[in-house]
């Protein structure tokens, strides 16, 4: 009985793995962080544009933005990734000559760029909703007062609306960042060797479950670090509201 217990514990703890594959795990971690950072940043810019489109008076713009957010929030990220990755793959051979001419073929051939594009499009939809809610939460009187003072439209956004809205959106945006760290593991299903990809690779070689445990610890570390960092940022940025 003791033997079998130790056997089962041995499934999860094997330090040899770290010796042999530690470098791969770290490389995977790096790629995960990079994927998330790039797509969340681009996603923020795109999300900001979509949020403004959604709030615009033009029914065409706001309708398009509504369709965009509904589609990307209503379908699984995995499905979006395959749609882009395999879908583009159909056209890529035809574009090859052109892309080689401008020297971009190496980038477009790789899964990396398509994963980043899909993640960006996806997180932009979620961030747009958070930003839209935040901008709607800024009282109308603020805009009216600014107009009365003769500020113009962009100035009003830049100095009155955005600073207040971003504070309100801080928490949902932090949550979105955490969700993206977790969701980025899907990149491994499009042949990328992010943390999850390396983990799958090592498991396929060793059939040793402890590698999943190490990956789990790293993911938890990332998520907890961001949660704490966000908490600190929030108390610092919101200190004017504390009485």
DSSP 169: H
On whether the CB atoms of residues 17 and 206 are closer than 8 A, the answer is yes
Nearer to other proteins, 105 or 212 (CB): 212
Q: Which is nearer to other proteins, 170 or 209 (CB)?
A: 209
167 vs 171: CA distance, rounded Å: 8
Nearer to other proteins, 24 or 200 (CB): 200
Shortest separation between residue 26's beta carbon and other proteins, angstroms: 17
Coil, strand or helix at 58: coil
To the nearest whole angstrom, how small is the minimum distance from the Cβ of residue 168 to other proteins?
19
| Close Cβ partners of 105 (under 8 Å, ≥ 6 residues apart) | 96, 99
What SS3 string covers 98-160?
Answer: HHHHCCCHHHHHCHHHHHHHHHHHHHHHHHHHHHHHHHHHCCHHHHHHHHHCCCCHHHHHHHH
Q: How far is the CB of 19 from other proteins (least distance, A)?
A: 21
Residue 8 vs 149, nearer CB to other proteins = 8
Which phi and psi (to 5°) does residue 4 adopt?
-70, -35
In the complex, what is the shortest distance from the CB of residue 68 to other proteins, in angstroms, rounded to a whole number?
A: 12
Shortest reach from residue 199's CB to other proteins, in Å: 8
Binding interface with other proteins (CB under 8 A) = 3-4, 7-8, 11-12, 70-71, 73-80, 82-83, 86-87, 89-90, 178, 181-186, 188-189, 196, 199-200, 203, 207, 209, 212-213, 215-216, 219-220, 223-224
Comparison of 152 and 182: residue with beta carbon closer to other proteins:
182
**C-beta of 66: minimal distance to other proteins in Å?**
12
How far apart CA 207 and CA 191 sit, in angstroms, is 19
Q: Which is nearer to other proteins, 82 or 108 (CB)?
A: 82
User: Please, what's the b/e burial string for 187-224 (b: 16 or more CB within 10 A of its CB; e: otherwise)?
Assistant: bbbbebbbbbbbbbbbbeeeebebbbbbbeebbeebee
Whole-angstrom Cα distance, residue 55 to residue 45? 16
């Amino acid at each position: 009985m003791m033997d079998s217990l130790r056997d089962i514990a041995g499934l999860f703890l094997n330090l040899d793995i770290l010796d042999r594959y530690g470098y791969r795990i770290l490389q995977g971690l790096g790629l995960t962080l990079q994927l998330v950072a790039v797509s969340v940043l681009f996603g923020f810019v795109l999300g900001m544009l979509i949020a403004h489109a959604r709030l615009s008076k033009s029914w065409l713009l706001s309708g398009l933005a509504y369709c965009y957010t509904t589609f990307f929030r209503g379908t699984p990220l995995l499905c979006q990734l395959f749609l882009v990755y395999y879908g583009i793959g159909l056209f890529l051979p035809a574009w090859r000559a052109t892309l080689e001419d401008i020297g971009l073929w190496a980038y477009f051939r790789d899964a990396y760029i398509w994963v980043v594009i899909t993640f960006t499009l996806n997180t932009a939809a979620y961030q747009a909703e958070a930003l839209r809610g935040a901008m709607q939460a800024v009282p109308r009187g603020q805009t009216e007062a600014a107009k009365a003072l003769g500020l113009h439209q962009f100035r009003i956004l830049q100095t009155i609306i955005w600073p207040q809205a971003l504070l309100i959106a801080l928490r949902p945006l932090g949550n979105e960042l955490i969700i993206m760290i977790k969701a980025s593991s899907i990149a491994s299903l499009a042949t990328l060797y992010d943390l999850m990809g390396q983990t799958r690779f090592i498991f396929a070689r060793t059939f040793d479950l402890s590698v999943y445990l190490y990956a789990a610890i790293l993911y938890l570390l990332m998520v907890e670090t961001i949660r704490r960092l966000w908490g600190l940022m929030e108390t610092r940025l919101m200190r004017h509201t504390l009485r």
